[in-house]
Chain A
Amino acid sequence: MLKMTHLSKVYRTEVVETYALRDFNINVNEGEFVAVTGPSGSGKTTFLTIAGLLETFTGGQYHLDGVEVSNLNDNERSRIRNEKIGFIFQAFNLIPDLNVFDNVEVPLRYRGMKAAERKERIMNALERVGLASRAKHYPAELSGGQQQRVAIARALAGSPRLLLADEPTGNLDTQMARGVMELLEEIHREGATIVMVTHDPELAARAQRNVHIIDGQVVDLAEDPRFHHAVHAARGNAPA
């Protein structure tokens, strides 16, 4: 589903080159739920923005759903984002002037979908996250957890092949975070491929697989003993 090979991302200024990702390799299979973890500044978000075609990369290869994406133009990248990828952001990123229905509709509009089909998909997605009754509400009228559920509905409405989540519970209290996480697990059980970036070992423990990043490279989780222990503690077992 998602395969990065020897991928690098370099930020260059006149005096310094900074490697955000270096010889980065990852392979996510269809239907997997992968947690990408690592300390702050390790390159997690850079990985996610490249995976979501929001940013280009400097070297290496990236195949998304079998397509090599490095040579795609802006329009092609936009179309793939729209049709194949669903985003869930830490800050929800709902558009404050649009109500819940219209927020969920945004990606469907760019797909040129007919109104009847849009409406059906939107209502299905909202029912799935338990917010069908709030369709006419504005984001400011919802709790943080509800806003994130709307964001998930927006990501799901387009039936994406890949769901990318960036610290999806980072701005939520424990109870709301649990609810959102349960929703993601449910979506995964229904067959979705999910890549979730988090620095929370408890969330990481609930994914099928952990990919740990330090200094822009994928490393063995054991190289970060404290996080390693925390993940295993969350799973209720000791590290091997």
Chain B
Amino acid sequence: MSGMFVHNLRLGTASLRRNVLLTALMIMSIGFGVAASMVTFAVFRAVSGDPIPHKSSQLFVPLIDNRGPQYNRHGEPPSALNYVDAVALMRAHKAERQTMIYPVALSVMPDDPQRMPFKAPGYATYGDFFSMFDVPFQYGSGWGSAEDEAREPVIVISRALNQKLYGGNNSVGRRVILDDRQYRIVGVTDNWDPKPRFFDTFSGNAYADPAQIYLPFSYAIAQHIDTRGNNNCGSDGKRGDTWETWLHGECVWISPWVELSSVAQVQAYRQFLDGYAREQREAGRFNWAPNNRLRNVREWLDYQRAVPQESRISMTLAFGFLVICLVNTIGLLLAKFMRRAPEIGVRRALGASRGDIYRQFLAEAAMVGLAGGALGLLLTTIGMFGLDLVFEPQIARLAHLDASLVLLTLLVAITATVIAAFYPTWRAAQVQPAWQLKSN
């Protein structure tokens, strides 16, 4: 059987060499179609993956409607919390773990006076952040609830920043100055940059550069460290003139996250949110029925449309292009195979069954697919460099060609070509030997 397969491959090679132009057209058709699909798929795969698969069903975003139905779009509450609600949820402590997050950017003052200060992006958050999101550490660890409550000036820095400031040495316990404030380093994170950055979609940072610093939320608030992210005060809302009026106003700017590991905990947390909203209504702050949401990571990313629309559109278009290429290949294969009807007739007369003819011609098609796949790989590699022309740079750089994509490219090319070859091969196998021989 394998001998016949090898023989069929030899016949296929000879046949493909016979008409180089036709063969080249088919290979190009498959190659371009597959490359377009794979390049856009690489982008889609990079932006649509589960950023924290082992915990995505346990991490939730609790949202509270603090503005009322007249300001909501499609009945949805705002996608972040104001300070009042954020602090209330933290104080209630109804989840296993909870944190509040807002983006900051502080100027780092290097120890070496010769070096210029530079901006380091990061987050103000609570100590639970690190254990909730399984942040890996190179040195030290995150801070605890004691530091949160005491508003301690502690900081966790990234591996990249540690490399830049301390040459990669263990910097835990050292002091670092950011925006004229001195912080004690308690931990250095290892490489960690989930994509999309699910915990900061509100500020549009899903694909932004990796964070370099993390400092306590309570300390940041106490020091009036402003958000670097979005601040949504509604269509007619105002931020207010002072820090205090902003904090106690209804502008939303804080991303809340809670960890709930069982259905019962989720149910209980929903009840807690509704209870909280009712209390606010009774207190006269809200004059509408509770309108809360509790979404896990996947639901949250879907709701936030974290996968860029252009990625979906381009992938749909590319796969449409692949289908057109395959239809073209069907036509070319049909022309090629039917031109060999006399040979098929002779083979049938000499004892080839329809199955033998199927196998011979499918092997030939598979070789076209393999060659198309090889061309597709080459074009996919080239296409990766041209992604910047179609996508935002921060999206384009996420896509990469790895072993799985190489295998997938070859697999798609061969499978698609063999599928495209079914009809031409079926037609070839239907050739009646008697008529072919009579016509000779």
Q: Do A and B bind each other?
A: yes
Measured CB to CB, the residues of A under 8 A from B are: 45, 49, 52, 54-55, 74-75, 78-79, 81-83, 87, 89-91, 93-95, 97, 106-107, 109-112, 115, 154, 158, 166
Instruction: Tell whether, in the assembled complex, residue A110 and residue B350 are in contact, meaning their CB atoms are under 8 Å apart.
Output: yes
In the complex, chain B residues 1-57 whose Cβ is within 8 Å of any chain A Cβ: 3-4, 7, 14-15, 18
The distance in angstroms between the C-alpha atoms of A75 and B429, with both chains bound, is 12
Q: Given A89-B437, A97-B15, A110–B354 Cβ distance below 8 Å? A: no
Instruction: Tell whether, in the assembled complex, residue A95 and residue B349 are in contact, meaning their CB atoms are under 8 Å apart.
Output: no
**B354 surroundings in chain A (CB, below 8 A):** 74-75, 78
**A112 surroundings in chain B (CB, below 8 A):** 4
**A158 surroundings in chain B (CB, below 8 A):** 351
In the complex, chain B residues 318-369 whose Cβ is within 8 Å of any chain A Cβ: 342-343, 345-356
Q: Given A75-B353, A78-B351, A81-B351, A91–B440 Cβ distance below 8 Å? A: yes
Instruction: Tell whether, in the assembled complex, residue A107 and residue B351 are in contact, meaning their CB atoms are under 8 Å apart.
Output: yes
8 Å CB contact of A87 from B14, B342, B350:
B350
Q: Is B433 an interface residue (CB 8 A)?
A: yes
Instruction: Tell whether, in the assembled complex, residue B434 and residue A82 are in contact, meaning their CB atoms are under 8 Å apart.
Output: no
Q: Given A45-B438, A49-B437, A97–B351 Cβ distance below 8 Å? A: no
Instruction: Tell whether, in the assembled complex, residue A107 and residue B350 are in contact, meaning their CB atoms are under 8 Å apart.
Output: yes
A87, A109, A111: residue with the most chain B Cβ atoms closer than 10 Å: A109
Measured CB to CB, the residues of B under 8 A from A are: 3-4, 7, 14-15, 18, 342-343, 345-356, 432-434, 437-438, 440
The distance in angstroms between the C-alpha atoms of A111 and B343, with both chains bound, is 18
User: Ordered nearest first, which 8 A-B pairs have the shortest CB separation?
Assistant: A82-B351, A91-B440, A55-B434, A54-B434, A78-B353, A49-B434, A110-B351, A107-B350
**B18 surroundings in chain A (CB, below 8 A):** 97
The distance in angstroms between the C-alpha atoms of A110 and B7, with both chains bound, is 11
CB<8 Å pairs between A and B, sample of 29: A54-B434, A54-B437, A74-B353, A75-B355, A78-B348, A78-B351, A78-B352, A78-B354, A79-B353, A81-B349, A81-B351, A82-B350, A83-B351, A87-B349, A87-B350, A89-B440, A90-B440, A93-B342, A93-B346, A93-B349, A93-B440, A94-B346, A106-B346, A106-B350, A107-B351, A109-B4, A110-B353, A112-B4, A158-B351
**B343 surroundings in chain A (CB, below 8 A):** 95
Instruction: Tell whether, in the assembled complex, residue B342 and residue A79 are in contact, meaning their CB atoms are under 8 Å apart.
Output: no
Instruction: Tell whether, in the assembled complex, residue A109 and residue B433 are in contact, meaning their CB atoms are under 8 Å apart.
Output: no
The distance in angstroms between the C-alpha atoms of A214 and B8, with both chains bound, is 44
Task: List 20 extra interface pairs beyond A75-B354, A91-B440, A97-B15, CB under 8 A.
Answer: A45-B438, A54-B432, A74-B353, A74-B354, A78-B356, A79-B351, A82-B350, A82-B351, A82-B352, A83-B351, A89-B437, A93-B346, A94-B346, A95-B343, A97-B14, A106-B350, A107-B351, A109-B7, A110-B351, A110-B353
Instruction: Tell whether, in the assembled complex, residue A154 and residue B350 are in contact, meaning their CB atoms are under 8 Å apart.
Output: yes
**B350 surroundings in chain A (CB, below 8 A):** 81-82, 87, 106-107, 110, 154
**B348 surroundings in chain A (CB, below 8 A):** 54, 78
Q: Which chain B residue shows the least CB distance to A77?
A: B353
Q: Given A93-B440, A110-B356, A115–B14 Cβ distance below 8 Å? A: no
**B14 surroundings in chain A (CB, below 8 A):** 97
8 Å CB contact of A54 from B7, B342, B349, B356:
B349
The distance in angstroms between the C-alpha atoms of A166 and B346, with both chains bound, is 14
Q: Given A54-B433, A54-B434, A112-B4, A106–B353 Cβ distance below 8 Å? A: no
The distance in angstroms between the C-alpha atoms of A13 and B3, with both chains bound, is 44
The distance in angstroms between the C-alpha atoms of A93 and B345, with both chains bound, is 9
CB proximity of A73 to chain B, nearest CB, Å: 10
Instruction: Tell whether, in the assembled complex, residue A110 and residue B440 are in contact, meaning their CB atoms are under 8 Å apart.
Output: no
**A52 surroundings in chain B (CB, below 8 A):** 349
**B353 surroundings in chain A (CB, below 8 A):** 74-75, 78-79, 110
CB proximity of A144 to chain B, nearest CB, Å: 14
